[in-house]
Amino acid sequence: MKVTALLLTALALSSSAVAEERWGAPAPKEDRVDITTLPECWQRCAIQANGLVKPWDLNTISKKDFCEDQRFIILYWWKFSFMKCVEDDCPEKAARSTEGRRWYKHMCAPFGITSVHGVRGSHEPPTSDLY
């Protein structure tokens, strides 16, 4: 009986550890991506583009997963869904681009990421790299 209880406990602990490590899994609220500081038009584009690339959700993905982008899914979403909308719908692209880069760098710098391309320690990309 004790062996069974120990095995069940060990199994439960190991499965919860694996669940926490899954990329793109829902994160605690304080660790999630916050789009509220993006320019208003960019926020609309982020909401509109959310769900176009799975297995993650912009409303629940952790900042770490979003910034590190181990599978290049975020980069694909950023370039072909999100920035497509920004390019088409958001006026004053150059000024907004600066705000967007500032938002990204502020969120991702704690993980050693300083560009949308997810390269640790890379230089800030020129505006044209964001479109």
pLDDT tens digits, 26-61 = 788 888 999 998 888 889 999 999 988 777 888 888
How many angstroms separate the Cα of 102 from the Cα of each of 12, 39, 45, 95, 124?
41, 11, 17, 11, 10
Average pLDDT on 7-30 reads 55
Residue 32 bridge partners (DSSP): 62
Instruction: Quote the pTM value.
Output: 0.65
User: Backbone dihedral region of 72: left (phi > 0), alpha (psi from -120 to 50 degrees) or beta?
Assistant: left
- Report whether 38 contacts 100 (CB < 8 A): yes
